[in-house]
Each structure stands twice: as structure tokens, then as C-alpha cells.
Amino acid sequence: MSVVALRLAGPMQSWGVGSRFVRRTTETAPTKSGVIGLLAAALGIRRTDPLEDLLHLRLGVRIDQPGELMRDFQTAQRPRYDRAGTVTWQSLPLSARYYLADAVFLAVVEGDRSIVEGLDAALRGPEFPLYLGRRSCPPAGPLALGVSDVSLDEALVTWPWLASTRVQKQRRDRVVQLATVRDAGPGEVATESIRDTPVSFDPNRRQYAWRSIVRATVDVTNPHGTAEPLPEHDPMSLLGGEACS
Amino acid sequence: MHRTLIDIHILQTVPPSNLNRDDTGSPKTATYGGVRRARVSSQAWKRATRVAFRDHLDSSELGVRTKRIVELLASEITTRAPELEERAGQLAAETFRAVGIEVKAPKKTGKDKTAAEEAGYLVFLSTRQIQNLADAAIQAAGADDVAKALKAAKVKDLADRDHSVDVALFGRMVADQSDMNVDAAAQVAHALSVHAVETEFDYFTAVDDRNTEDETGAGMIGTVEFNSSTLYRYATVDANRLLDNLGDLDATRRAVDAFVEAFVRSMPTGKQNTFANRTLPEAVVVQVRDRQPINLVGAFENPVRELEKGGRIKAAAEALRDEAREIASSYAEEPVAAWVTRVGADTAALDDLGTKVALPELVTELGALVAARLTEPS
């Protein structure tokens, strides 16, 4: 198996799962529908086209810089033309859109080498404009980090930490722990299920399937770290016996 | 055909202002690089851009966004075929049914019970689409089965081509017929300040002109929130998608011209009368790329600090130049062409990125390049 790695970074991103109507929320990490949608756009697959090969890809995301939740308040108005020719402006429902500000993610997509190479090339010369979950959130800097012949899990551990130098300097430890969210392997016990596997992006019948995910952490070297990590804090050890996990 | 992507980068200083505010009246902000920045949302600047189109384009190239589509089409039918005046409303309603857009009598808002049917939502139609539909309706009017004749005239296709410039750039949603949606060819990022910003409060008192003796206090007091910032604004236009949406090379070129002009010169109107914050950008950098659009906002992830000499616009211009160069060399992403329009000595660093020209020349040269690339075989 091979993987293509993506750097998802920008001032704002938004990865919704179940939002409807005027309250548009975001998850804390990129969703599978968001990343597959981005890859499909790069390949030039239209919304009504079948997703085919993309449905079998595995996704893993590492939260390199979590950023912060931001709410954007949005108003809209529409003109109403009277018969007399006067125009009055009517307010449409107020809406709240949520974004992740200042976040950086590593997204790793696993599949057959030929497919993964095609994705990497497409990300470098995308057919449709790409964005991080919402059209007003273009990525900062190029997205594609390249293809490597490792497994999804290995890639999540071995890719260098993508957080900004400022964040790396703030965390003084030589080794930092980063949260990951990835597809559960066959037979693996999932942490939870979320409904973000795209089946069809056709606007007439959008369809998403449930996805079993595993939330875990990985240890990554901090190039700007100076302090050795402290031994894990386990107050229960005073009582003897085995540590809880 | 070559891929042609137009990246527009703008540095623009606005004095104390509140261009775009949230539900509490504070100017919008966002955290980036760990510090709070001033922000103007993309939707606010897109609207300002769309409004400014009226100065650059003929109304025939723009669209109308309305629920009252039956009335609109009926009046076009009547203009073209006055003898059909009696039937125009009914013909128009039939036409939209054939297109697949449901039209119903509006909820009674007054005594006017003869009001034309309306769509249940706002429909964005270009002037050309209305004209084409009117022609089809007039043709079909003579047939025995009008509905069948309209279907045969492929009215749905007529409503789905010859899009207006604003629809082609910013997209369209049609609730009943989502295959008639148009995907936007332009992307606009939220504008962010290149430096850290704190929101300030202006405490004000207002004096009652007719109350000179009894009370010596203020007639009212209040606060207005504002900030002043140097913004980085970014937008990108995918010229190939724009051509797909418009279906016409000339129209594509005009749309690119209008977008660049309008995006550069426009300003959201929030609190404009309070702050008179109309400025023009200090610097505009336009890069044409053939692989992917690239947002250079990373230049400002480390917030710019004011320099002893030159202030923050000088530091911002240098940061933008450095980021553009770094990306070009690290990722082998050299733009195909680039132009710079700028004012003042502080922005001189940007001359390294492209040919320095005035905005009108920039627009002309960009338009010529886009037209050439869209017609050349690749």
C-alpha cells in the first residue's frame, strides 16, 4: 500500500458533518467527505459523476495544530421590487457558521500506488479550485506533500510535525503527543462512528454512509524542543497495582 | 487548452473603520498565527464586488435574482410580441413549469389577488436567459399543446446556458433543479490583517441642540467599535471554469476584467458614513498560474510588526515577496506571468514579483493573456 500526504493549513477551515439550515458547525478535524470531495475536485470529477476508486481509499488525519473554534455571524438580504418600482430589502434568516481558525492538519490517504500517484499529481494541478471545507477557505500554500510506500499508520507516526515554528517553540518537549483520527481497519474495534463517508455528491441525492473511526495519539519529534518528556503522571501508582488505561 | 488560474493578492490599509461587524456590533476578527486579526468576511467583499460590477458591465451581462420570475418573463414576452399581452402571464408560468421550476400564486399580502405566480425561492437568471425563454414561449404560443411545444424547445437548456457574468463567477443554486446549479469560478478568501489587532471603542456623546439651559449633560452617550488595519486580501479566478460557465471567449475576458477591477476597487459599505474609510490598495499583485492557485497568506502567519522606518506596509510587502519566492523555489511553482500595481516607496519590494504597471494596463494585459491562453491548443 502507498499513501499520499496532504498539508491542510490556512487561516480558516470548516469541516461539517451534519449541519443543516442556519447553524453550520465544524468538526475538530477534517472529515472524510471533505477530503474525498477535495480529491474529487482535484481530479475533475463532477458532483454527479460516480466516485468509483475514491470510495475505497483509507483516510487518517493527524491534528498537528488544533487551532481554535471561531463563529462567523452572517446576514443576507434580498430585494423586493414593488409594482411602483420601489425596492425594499428583506432580511433572510441570520446564520452562524463555525470555522477552525489557525489550524494545521496532516491528512494521509492510503490506496493502490497508481491511484495515490494520480491523486498527488491532481493535487498539484487541480481541475477545479480546491478549498478546505468551504469555498471561502482556500488553502495557504501547496497541499500535496508527496507519495510514499508506507502504511497509513506508519505515515501518521513518521511525518514530521507540520505545526508552525511558533507553536513548536511554545511546546518545549522534545517529543509531543498528537491526536489522530483514522478509519478503523478490518476487524478493529472502533472508537466511534460518524456519518461522513461520501457515497454520492450529486446535489439531487447527496448520500453519506457511516464510518468507523479510531481516535488515538502518536508521538512525534519536536525539532524546536529542548525538554525531555516528563514521566507520565499516574497518581494511582502510589496505591500499587497496575496503571489504568 | 492551457489551465489558466488568476491569483490576486492585495495589501490595503484601512484607517479606523468597521467594515464588517458581527451580531454585537464588533468588527469581525479571526485568530491566525496565534494572534487576533481584523477580518472582513469573503461574503461581504463578494457583495461589494458584485455591486461594483454595475460600473464595469452592461446590465445585459448581469443577472436578476428574484422570486418574481413569471412577471419578469411575461413583461419580456409582451415587449417582444405585444399581441400576446393577454396570455403573457400564463405563458410565462407554463414556461417555468416546463423548465422544472415550480411557480405558485404568492401568499395574499394585500387586496391584489391577480398577482402573478412566484417561485418559492430566489432564482438567478441572466438577461440573455430571459430573452431566450421569451422567444421560446412566443414560438410555442401558436401550438395546440403549449406545454409539449415548450418541452420540445428544450427550455430547460435555455435556462441553463448564457449565464450572466455574476452567476458564472459566484455560482447559482436552483432548489428544484439542482442540476441547473452553477459552480462558482471565483474563490474569495476572508481578508485578514497582516498584524495583530485589538478592537478599540470610541466613546461618544451627542449634544441636544435645542436644550441649552435646563440640562447641561449629553443628549445621549454610546460607543462605536472599530479597528484600523493593513489587510491581506486574496481571490482566485479559474479562467477555464469561467469559460465553461459562460460558454463564450469574449464574455470570459470581460468577466475577468470586471472581476479584477471590481475586486481591487470595491469596499464593503459597513459604517462608511461614520468612518469614511474609502482607500485604494497600496499594492496589487496578479499572478497567472498554470497548475494550482496559491494563496500567500502564510507570509503573514508571523504577524508583521511596525518597523522604525517604513511602518507595517513595508514589512508586509517584504514578507509577501519572500513568501512568493520561497513557494516558487521550494515547490517549483513559478507563475506564468505576473504584474504589480503599487503606490509609494514602501511597497518597492514587490517589484521583484512582476512587471510594474498601472491598474488599467494590468487589466488589459491580463485580459489579452487569458484570451490567448484559452484559445491556444495546449
- What average pLDDT does this structure show over B108-117? 67
Q: Return the top range by mean pLDDT from B132-141, B144-153, B165-174.
A: B132-141
CB A28 within 8 A of CB A135: no
Averaged pLDDT for residues B48-64: 85
**Residue A180 CB neighbours (<10 A):** 21
Chain B residues with CB under 8 Å of A72 CB are 22, 28, 41
pLDDT above 90: residue B20: yes
Out of A85-99, A168-182, B313-327, least confident range: A85-99
Q: What integer best gives the mean pLDDT of chain A?
A: 89
How far does the CA of residue A39 sit from the closest CA of chain B (Å)? 13
Residues in B closer than 8 angstroms to A124, CB to CB, are 291-292
Lowest mean pLDDT of A18-32, A57-71, A228-242, name the range: A228-242
Residues of B whose CB is below 8 A from A204: 178-179
- According to DSSP, residue A173 is labeled B
The pTM score is 0.80
Judged on CB neighbours under 10 Å (0-12, 13-18, 19+), A86 is exposed
Nearest to A204 among B179, B290, B331 (CB): B179
Mean pLDDT confidence for B157-164: 84
Predicted confidence band of residue A226 (pLDDT cuts 50, 70, 90) = confident
Pick the residue from chain A with its C-alpha nearest to B45.
Answer: A136
pLDDT digits (tens, 9 = 90+) for B256-293: 999 999 999 999 999 999 999 999 999 999 999 999 99
- Across the interface, of A68, A74, A138, the residue whose CB is closest to B31 is A68
Q: Do B122 and A124 touch (CB under 8 A)?
A: no
| A103-145 pLDDT per residue, tens | 999 999 999 999 999 999 999 999 998 999 999 999 998 899 9
And the C-alpha cell for B137? 414561449
d(CA B219, CA B372): 64
B192 neighbourhood in chain A, CB within 8 Å: 11
The verdict on a CB contact (< 8 Å) between A164 and B122 is: no
Residue B378 pLDDT > 70: no
Could you report the per-residue pLDDT of A170-193, keeping only the tens digit for each? 988 899 999 999 999 888 999 899
Beta strands in chain B (DSSP E): 5-17, 29-32, 35-40, 63-66, 103-104, 118-119, 123-126, 186-188, 191-193, 200-206, 220-238, 283-289, 337-342, 355-356
Confidence of residue A245 (pLDDT cuts 50, 70, 90): low
User: Residue B58: its pLDDT value, please?
Assistant: 83
As for the ipTM of the complex, it is 0.72
pLDDT at A243 over 70: no
Q: Say yes or no to pLDDT of B249 above 60.
A: yes
Q: Chain B closest CA to A128's CA: distance in Å? A: 8
State the greatest distance between any 2 C-alpha atoms of chain A, in Å, as a whole number.
86
Q: List, for residues A211-225, the tens digit of each pLDDT value.
A: 999 999 999 999 998
Reported confidence tier of residue B362, pLDDT bands at 50, 70, 90:
very high
- Beta pairing class for A95-111 and A144-148: unpaired
Residues of A in contact with B42 (CB under 8 A): 136
Q: Mutation test of the interface with chain A: which of B26, B122, B301, choosing the one with the most A Cβ atoms within 10 A? A: B301
Interface test with A, best of B292, B330, B378 (most A CBs within 10 A): B292
